[in-house]
Amino acid sequence: MANSLTSLNPSFWAREAQRSLFVDNKAMAIAKTTLRNLVAGEGSTVYRTILSYPSSATYTPGSDITNQTITGSSESLSIATWLASKVTIDDTEKKQSIIDIGTLVAKRMMANHNNDIEQAVLSEISNAKWSIDDGNVGGTSGNNISLNTSNITQLFTASDNKLDAVDAPKAGRTAVVGGHFLSLLKLQQANRNTVFGDVVNTRGVVTNLFGWDILYSNNLPFSATLTMATLPTHGDTITIAGVVFTFQDTLNAAGSVHITSSASTQVTSFVAALNAPKTTVAESTNAGYTKVSDEDAFLLADKRRITATDGTTTITIAGYGDIVVSETLSATADVWSSQLQKSLFCVRDCIDQIVQIPPQIEVVRDPDQFADIVKSLLGYGKKTYADGAREMVYVKIAANTSDWA
């Protein structure tokens, strides 16, 4: 008979909390930051003058040259985005914790702000002058590109053609791609002498192919649409970035969504759940959901920045990264569609960015408590000027192919 000595077994706690799931900031690899010198100490707006181009005409000796009128316009970059966070840590919590709570909180605040900056810069992809879809790589015009090892290299030549047509610089051409894109590119180059990852430089470039620096980012803009024209049944699920939401007659576990009285009210309720994953709403006829776990809430709200829009019979989500979506809805017509990831092929410095207040941390004592207040602040602005837009190609990648599952 075995002894019952489990009460004597010691327990140990790691001195580090769980790892922070943020990526290194890649925005500085493509953004132009020199305008910051103009507003480093004061000011909120930077203007740039855009002049029209004078044309040439045939000159007849002895005849007057026709005078031409040039026009000027201005574009401005405003520094108007301010982000902050605050956490209060009581002295008793510090004393009794095996980890340094303040240091860990400060690191995560900094990482979160760096994430904000990268996503803000990459959201400028939509302002590109040029775009490439499936029709540019031998497929159907108007469709997103279903990448494979046969057509992936065509994106580089198609982007070159777009930029060469406006005499954009050859130097500094950079392709910002996601993980799925990079994996296919590695497969395509598997039998070639190409080094991936081993030569990552300080700007995040993983390799150079076809005259392009290949920059990996898991913060590329993503969007998708879910049709929900039929009321879900008990047990149906919707999964976004690995976070599972389950429709229930009665709320129970984290991520459960109460089944409402109609499809349209269900859409409204679920959109609310997606836009506030850290909040629980009491169950009622046409509302109610249980907040997801802290880790899932962080993933949706802070890392992937998921936002949802109510389309009455559809839900459109937007976010950042290589996001995978799925569903087990009983209605066969209620499915995900239009999954899109926006890749960027551009000339470096095409997007202007001013970080007037770089991510900073301040720790002060709470005057009314025995506690530290840890605060963070970030202030920035970004802009794609007309000349920068001409040096950008928006590549529309289908995010619903089998390799995304």
- Could you read off the pLDDT of 239-253 as tens digits, one per residue? 999 999 999 999 999
Distance CA 241, CA 298 (A): 12
Res 46 pLDDT > 90:
no
Q: Where do we find the tokens 């290589």?
A: 322
CB 21 within 8 A of CB 107: no
Res 19 pLDDT > 80:
no
Q: Where do we find the tokens 């081993």?
A: 198
Res 198 pLDDT > 70:
no
Res 375 pLDDT > 50:
yes
Other Cβ atoms within 10 Å of 169 Cβ, number: 11
* Range of weakest confidence among 9-18, 124-133, 243-252: 9-18
Task: Give the per-residue pLDDT at 16.
Answer: 47
35 confidence band (pLDDT: 50, 70, 90):
confident
Give the CA distances from residue 353 to residues 179, 319, 350, in Å, rounded to whole numbers and listed in that order: 25, 21, 10
Res 224 pLDDT > 90:
yes
Task: Give the per-residue pLDDT at 52.
Answer: 80
Distance CA 149, CA 144 (A): 16
* Range of weakest confidence among 46-55, 61-70, 175-184, 227-236: 46-55
Buried b (16+ CB within 10 A) or exposed e, 310-322: beeebbebbbbbb
Q: Which residues contact 51 (CB under 8 A, 6 or more apart)?
A: 70, 71, 72
* Range of weakest confidence among 17-26, 173-182, 220-229, 253-262: 17-26
Stronger pLDDT, 207 or 159, i.e. the higher one = 159
Beta strands (DSSP E) in 156-280 are 173-177, 205-209, 212-216, 221-227, 237-240, 243-248, 256-258
Q: Which of 283, 294, 293, 296 is nearest to 257 (CA)?
A: 283
Res 144 pLDDT > 50:
yes
Distance CA 260, CA 282 (A): 12
85 confidence band (pLDDT: 50, 70, 90):
very high
Task: Give the per-residue pLDDT at 99.
Answer: 87
Name the average pLDDT for the chain. 89
237 confidence band (pLDDT: 50, 70, 90):
very high
Res 9 pLDDT > 70:
no
Stronger pLDDT, 238 or 97, i.e. the higher one = 238
Res 17 pLDDT > 50:
no
CB 227 within 8 A of CB 329: no
Residue-wise pLDDT tens digits, 103-122: 999 999 999 999 999 999 99
Task: Give the per-residue pLDDT at 8.
Answer: 46
Res 13 pLDDT > 50:
no
DSSP conformational letter for 145: B
> What pTM does this model have?
0.87
Q: Which of 78, 19, 20, 8 is nearest to 45 (CA)?
A: 78
Return the biggest CA–CA distance within the chain: 118
164 confidence band (pLDDT: 50, 70, 90):
very high
Beta strands (DSSP E) in 91-204 are 130-132, 173-177
Element spanning 337, H or E: strand 336-347
Element spanning 104, H or E: helix 101-122
Q: What is the mean pLDDT of residues 327-335?
A: 97
Q: State the Cα torsion 329-330-332-338 to the nearest 10°.
A: -10
Other Cβ atoms within 10 Å of 252 Cβ, number: 10
